[in-house]
Amino acid sequence: MNPANLDILVLYYSRHGSTRQLAELIAQGIDSVKGCDARLRTVPAVSTVAEATQPEIPDQGAPYVELKDLEECAGLAMGSPTRFGNMAAPLKYFWDGTSSQWLSGTLAGKPACVFTSTGSLHGGQESTLLSMMLPLMHHGMVLLGLPYTQPELMTTASGGSPYGASHWSGVNGSHAISEDTRSLAIALGRRLAQIACKLQGR
Ligand SMILES: Cc1cc2nc3c(=O)[nH]c(=O)nc-3n(C[C@H](O)[C@H](O)[C@H](O)COP(=O)(O)O)c2cc1C
């Protein structure tokens, strides 16, 4: 890793691994852009039992996000499984603890994109993607999606939309990531990194 490179945060929550697979593809797209490194981070699960705690280091996947990751990143990709047409609580909980970063404009002007995984094809990919943009807009981020110059957007029968990357995991996560979903996730990461470079005048 080159310390002069721009770090792009890929922040996700994933219970069963489908959203994590998308996050890794988005990271691949970011890393394909010269001068950019993906920084993969996750959030701990939340519990109705106030005393419940998570291990300091997750059992699998990326390390837990820290607030300094928001300061240090030049852009952000955020991914969540769809939960009743919306983002999962652990990510929402994380954003609810970012008032100080909101007040100081830590993320203002930085580019962002979103991604999700659903159990059913029409189970709310687009509503989740669009609603995940809301806290990022409050933070002043510059939201971007996927343009129709990506030919897979016209043909995909699995996931991927102008609002961001998405995966149809099926019941019990039985569906592998399709070729269209894979290309669109990588393209989204690449686009995010390219725009982050342009915004930094690189
Ligand atoms: C509480 C809960 C709510 C869910 N709501 C939806 C939903 O609204 N639409 C849908 O298609 N799938 C829904 N699912 C299924 C997950 O979105 C799907 O399994 C996803 O791929 C899991 O991602 P992960 O492997 O990253 O955890 C829900 C799952 C849970 C546990």
pLDDT tens column, 4-49? 999 999 999 999 999 999 999 999 999 999 999 999 999 999 988 8
Type of residue at 3? P
Which atom of ligand 1 approaches the CA of 18 most closely? 25
Is residue 1 one of the residues assigned to a domain?
no
17 lines ligand 1 (CB under 6 A): yes
Structural domain boundaries, residue 31: 6-199
pLDDT tens for each residue of 76-109: 999 999 999 999 999 999 999 999 999 999 999 9
Count of structural domains within the chain: 1
* Per-residue confidence (pLDDT) for residue 171, from 0 to 100: 86
Ligand 1 pocket, mutate which of 118, 129, 169 (most atoms under 8 A from CB): 118
CATH code assigned at 142: 3.40.50.360
Q: Is residue 102 one of the residues assigned to a domain? A: yes
Q: Is 198 in the pocket of ligand 1 (CB under 6 A)?
A: no
Query: Backbone phi, then psi, for 64, in 5-degree steps?
Result: -70, 145
pLDDT the model gives residue 54: 85
pLDDT in tens, 145-188: 999 999 999 999 999 999 999 999 998 999 999 999 999 999 99
Q: Could you tell me if residue 62 is inside a domain?
A: yes
pLDDT of residue 99: 97
Give the burial string for 166-202 (b: 16+ CB within 10 Å, else e): bbbbeeebebebbebbbbbbbbbbbbbbbbbbeeeee
Residue ranges of the alpha helices (H) in 81-178? 89-96, 99-104, 125-138, 152-155
Please say if the pLDDT value at position 50 is more than 80: no
Contact 112, 78 (CB under 8 A): yes
Residue 64 clears pLDDT 90, i.e. is over it: yes
- Quick one: DSSP state of residue 34? T
Q: Say if residue 1's pLDDT is above 80.
A: no
CA of 119 to the centre of ligand 1 (A): 5
Q: For residue 99, is it within any domain? A: yes
CA–CA separation, 33 and 12 (whole Å): 21
Q: What is the pLDDT of residue 66?
A: 96
Split at pLDDT 50, 70, 90, the class of 134 is very high
CB-based contacts of 175: which residues, under 8 Å, 6+ apart? Answer: 158, 167, 168, 169
Span of 55-59, 176-180, 197-201 with lowest mean pLDDT: 55-59
